Amino acid sequence: MDYQRALNYILSFADFERWPGAGYAERWDLRRMEEILKHMDSPHTGIRTVHVAGSKGKGSIAAMISSGLIAEGFRTGMYTSPHLHSMRERVRINGELISENDFAQITARMKPCIEEVNKGPYGVLSTFELLTALALTYFKEQGAEFNVLETGLGGRLDATNICQPEVCVISSISLDHTAVLGDTIARIAGEKAGIIKSGVTVVSSPQLFEAADVIKSVCLEKGARLITVGDDVKWAMSGFSYGRQSFEISGLNGNYEVMIPLLGEHQLENAVAAVTSLEVLGINKDCIVSGLAKTQWSGRLEILRDDPLFIADGAHNSDSARRLRESLKQYFQFNRAILILGTSADKNTSGIVRELALFFDIVITTTSKHPRANKAKELADEFAGHNVDAMAVEDVSQAVAEALMHAEKDDLICATGSLFLVAEVIEEVKGFSGERYPDE
């Protein structure tokens, strides 16, 4: 089995990232994960683990924690989702993507186990469950000393929740995936807090009151130690420059300054959560500082080119869109702002548009190749409701060309709305092709 065949096999199962719709509680059953991992010699056991959930920023937090652990000398596995350009991005050891050969070999060995589990009483495994099992198997076989696992959706019933973490991290919680996780902050927080295990340490980003209350209650119930960023750990920005920013932190182990190659005040919150988690794990201060400075995490206020300035950011809900708007104003100087927007059909598109409509001078809506993508015309109609004329362009490459054609030297172009859109824009601007799948 080669990589492409392995990928096609994994994608032949139910992929709810690409085709959402199944009932969350009805579909997910962690006993399937327990069974497949049992067949693969329980690779999730015996490895120190950090588990990250939340609505926004959990991937950035996972990347920063992983980078700090690597700087300390730990062989570190990191599992995140979704990917931008290749499925292999989701599975990394010490920052390096799993090879095509290892992906194919593990899939081939898993295949008979998958078929056996799928005959059982707990239902058929999904694409995300298979990728999770593959990642955990790879990390164990590669001698990982730490695993940093990002949840896919929710937390309580997520495939990654079979782990026994040393630290749980809950990033900022907002209204997202409401059809699946619940239509209130409290309900969504209840799902995210489902990763909390008895006796672990929980690091929480700053939260709305409703979310903070739920997290605190679950920690009390589970006997988990709760550390809250903003209350127990303080920070203040000390400066920023092109593509990077620094902050002073009053942490658990003293005061020091950290620099991250990521922009946005929300990334400072994410960085403080990562620093605090690393402190809980006993990581040396110098390694925390050097590790975070080397963090690589694409598609988050990423500068793709200058003249004109071209930014890509995966703001995928209304709260992220608000923070993006504020960050563009705070971190960049420009004359006119040009927007390329492409969203997922299952997101609160009206909320995203409401936050961005009046900020941009020129608006171009487009449709990524992803099957969940919203139609460009429907997005343009949303802007019309705010008395904003939007240009609907179905093809992403054409949308990029239109933006560049309209942009002058001192203008700013920002592509946002979903990571799927951001991925295609990055590929177009930088001139390479990512993986494409049969339904695209």
Segment 146-179, tens digit of pLDDT: 999 999 988 999 999 999 999 999 999 986 554 4
Task: Report how far apart the first and last C-alpha atoms of the chain are (Å, whole number).
Answer: 23
Report residue 317 as tokens: 């809900």
Intervals of CATH 3.40.1190.10 along the chain: 3-293
Minimum mean pLDDT range among 41-45, 213-217, 318-322: 318-322
Cα angle 219, 225, 230; round to 5: 95
SS (H, E, C) the chain: CCHHHHHHHHHCCCCCCCCCCCCHHHHCCHHHHHHHHHHCCCCCCCCEEEEEECCCCHHHHHHHHHHHHHHHCCCEEEECCCCCCCHHHHEEECCEECCHHHHHHHHHHHHHHHHHHHCCCCCCCCHHHHHHHHHHHHHHHCCCCEEEEECCCCCCCCHHHHCCCCEEEECCCCCCCHHHHCCCHHHHHHHHHHHCCCCCEEEECCCCHHHHHHHHHHHHHHCCEEEEECCCEEEEEEEEECCEEEEEEEECCEEEEEEECCCCHHHHHHHHHHHHHHHHCCCCHHHHHHHHHCCCCCCCCEEEECCCEEEEECCCCHHHHHHHHHHHHHHCCCCCEEEEECCECCCCHHHHHHHHCCCCCEEEEECCCCCCECCHHHHHHHHHCCCCCEEEECCHHHHHHHHHHHCCCCCEEEEECCHHHHHHHHHHHHCCCCCCCCCC
Higher-confidence position of 36 and 16? 36
| pLDDT tens per residue across span 238-262 | 999 888 999 999 999 999 999 999 9
What average pLDDT is seen over the chain?
93
CATH of 3-293, one of 1.10.10.60, 3.40.1190.10, 3.40.50.720, 3.90.1200.10: 3.40.1190.10
CATH code: domain 302-429 is 3.90.190.20
Average pLDDT value for residue range 36-46: 97
| pLDDT tens per residue across span 77-89 | 999 999 999 999 9
Give the model's pLDDT for residue 26.
46
Report residue 401 as tokens: 């060309």
Is the pTM higher than 0.85? The answer reads: yes
CA distances from 130 to 108, 110, 159, 161 (A): 12, 9, 9, 14
Give the model's pLDDT for residue 22.
44
Q: Which of 259, 232, 263 is nearest to 248 (CA)?
A: 259
Give the span between the Cα atoms of 11 and 31, in whole angstroms: 21
Q: How confident is the model at residue 437 (pLDDT cuts 50, 70, 90)?
A: confident
Q: How confident is the model at residue 183 (pLDDT cuts 50, 70, 90)?
A: low
| pLDDT tens per residue across span 361-380 | 999 999 999 888 999 999 99
Answer whether residue 182 shows pLDDT above 90: no
CA 195 from centre of chain: 16
The neighbouring-strand residues paired with 149 are 51, 79
Answer whether residue 54 shows pLDDT above 90: yes
Give the model's pLDDT for residue 3.
97
77 C-beta neighbours (distance < 10 Å), count: 28
209 C-beta neighbours (distance < 10 Å), count: 9
Answer whether residue 24 shows pLDDT above 60: no
Answer whether residue 343 shows pLDDT above 80: yes
232: number of CA atoms within 13 Å, CB side?
Answer: 17
Minimum mean pLDDT range among 19-23, 54-58, 98-102, 239-243: 19-23
Q: Are 331 and 264 in contact (CB under 8 A)?
A: yes
Intervals of CATH 3.90.190.20 along the chain: 302-429
